[in-house]
Structure 1
Amino acid sequence: MSGQQLRFMESDAVLVVDFDDVVLADAPSTSKRESHVFSPDAPRGILHRAFSVFLFDMSTSELLLQKRASTKITFPNVWTNTCCSHPLLGMDPPESELEMDVSSSSTTTTTTGGEGNNVRGVRNAAVRKLRHELGIHPSELSRECGARFKYLTRVHYWAADTVTHGTDSPWGEHEIDYILFVGVPDKGRVTLDDVNDDEVDEVRWVDRHRMREMFDDDGLLFSPWFRIIADRWLMGGGGWWDDLDRTMNTNDRCDHDTIHRFDPPPEHMGGAGDAGPLFLN
């Protein structure tokens, strides 16, 4: 693990939430490190808010994947969606707010063009991390450049990082994860010349056929949250990716009321807190 990774783990203040995704009044935040530690006292770490971005080239329906860097503390060397991270406390613009914003600013969520969602703070966090991890400038994600954001739903999941760190892994994830789709007119408008090698080892644009081939390759590892989202909603008959225009331009696929809850696959059970099923689904 790198020194930069350790600094972020200690300094970043993630938002602690209850099962209803309400930020706790008496302890609204904790360090990224503390929230991801699995132990007998906290078998699944500390539940916190997160987001997962899926960035699409709307002209080809290709999805941008990343392979997490080998220096990452949690879930290194796994393929996953475009960007996964956390809204943080004390950021400017703020990332803890979920109020509706009807302005036309390119740095906030609007209700025009079918976006119609109320996750301004999560969107601010996503724009920040897309620049930090992949070097994508916020201007390339603006409406003026033809980019569109779509908030689809939330997933509450947990997973011990036992594949990397062994059966007694002290690390894992326990998150309420906001799923954000971002569409750009074509991938040539997205600059990937400054990918942060402390965060990302590789990036790759894939279509649905190539994605299925990768899933079938036993030599590749994938993040558990990406597999859950892909298996449940992204791919297959009637999946979000099957009709991307409908997903991006209508609210037909949105579910902003439900928090969908999932236990991890068997290989991600356990960890230092010997965590078993939480939801029994």
Structure 2
Amino acid sequence: MKQKAAPIQPIIPAIGIDGLLFPIEKLKAHKDGTLHLAVSVFVFCGPNLLIQKRAESKYHCGGLWANTCCTHPHWNEAPEASARRRLQEELGLKLELKAAHVIEYYAEVSNNLIEHERVQVFRADVPHQNLDFNLAPDEVADIRWTDVRELKLDAIANPQNYAPWFKIYLKRWSELGL
């Protein structure tokens, strides 16, 4: 019986101690806790934020709620192009994105992995919540719109339901530039 090959890991930009970018496999960056680039997207309809529940099969933090979507730019991919790609891949959305702030964080996540990221945050605003979603089931288990104030309170009351980086975002909300 032929063995299934391990999935090819994308090459993403990591940040060296000299501040210069170098290529690294995504999983290696997460195993070693190497500082690397990432993007996070936040889609709003008025005061409500679109959040997603990560698919159970994700390599870390499956079944937890997080921001609208996030990813890592591929090597030589611009952050905005990466954010647009992931919004389309995970949710089937094509939206106008506006760059917000850059935030850096370190978080231990599930499966002995580490998120040590410098994140370019993006915002999109939509006029109504009835968007034409096309959810990727291997990425997204569920979505919901929620008031940000209520979300912050729920994350405090039920932290086990939220991805570690999303709890950091909620605590450092004013730093996101949203």
Q: TM-score, normalised by structure 1?
A: 0.56
Is residue 177 of structure 2 the alignment partner of residue 179 of structure 1?
A: no
Partner of 1:66: 52
What secondary structure is seen at the aligned counterpart in 1 of 2:75? Answer: coil
Larger radius of gyration: 1
Q: 1:270 maps to what in 2?
A: none
Does the 8 Å CA contact 2:159/2:167 hold for their aligned counterparts? no
Query: Does residue 1:152 correspond to 2:109, yes or no?
Result: no
Q: 3-state DSSP class of the match of 1:180?
A: strand
User: In structure 2, what is the Cα distance between the partners aligned to 1:19 and 1:156?
Assistant: 15
The question of 1:128 aligning with 2:85 is answered: yes
Which ranges in structure 2 are unaligned for 5 or more consecutive residues?
Answer: none
- State the distance in 1 between where 2:158 and 2:53 align: 15
Identical pairs, percent: 30
Look up the match of 1:18: 16
Contact 1:21 1:49 in 2 (8 A): no
Between 47-56 and 222-231, report the one with greater CA deviation.
222-231
How many Å separate the matches in 2 of 1:203 and 1:131? 14
Q: Which secondary structure state, in structure 2, belongs to the residue aligned with residue 154 of structure 1?
A: strand
Structure 1 segment 104-115 matched on structure 2, within 5 A:
none
Letter of the structure 1 residue corresponding to residue 150 of structure 2:
R
TM-aligned CA distance change 1:22 to 1:61, over 3 Å: farther
- CA distance in 2 between counterparts of 1:19 and 1:184 reads 39
Q: 1:212: Cα distance to partner?
A: 3.5
Question: Runs (4+) of structure 1 moved beyond 4 Å?
Answer: none
How far residue 202 of structure 1 moved from its aligned partner, in angstroms, is: 0.9
2:103 maps to amino acid? V
- 1:29 matches 2:7: no
Distance in 1 between residues matched to 2:15 and 2:147, nearest whole Å: 35
- Rate the CA distance shift 1:20–1:178 in 2: closer, same or farther, 3 A: farther
Residue 230 in 1 paired to residue 170 in 2? yes
SS for the counterpart of 1:187 is: coil
How large is the RMSD of aligned CA atoms in angstroms?
A: 2.5
Alignment of 1:1-281 (within 5 A): 7=7, 10-18=8-16, 22-23=20-21, 28-38=22-32, 45-57=33-45, 60-89=46-75, 95=77, 121-136=78-93, 138=94, 141=95, 147=96, 149-161=97-109, 164-165=110-111, 169=112, 171-188=113-130, 190-192=131-133, 194-218=134-158, 220-234=160-174, 253=177
Distance 1:154 1:20, change over 3 A: farther
Matched residues in 2 for 1:50 and 1:19: separation?
A: 17
Task: Give the residue type in structure 2 aligned to 1:232.
Answer: R
Q: How many residues align?
A: 175
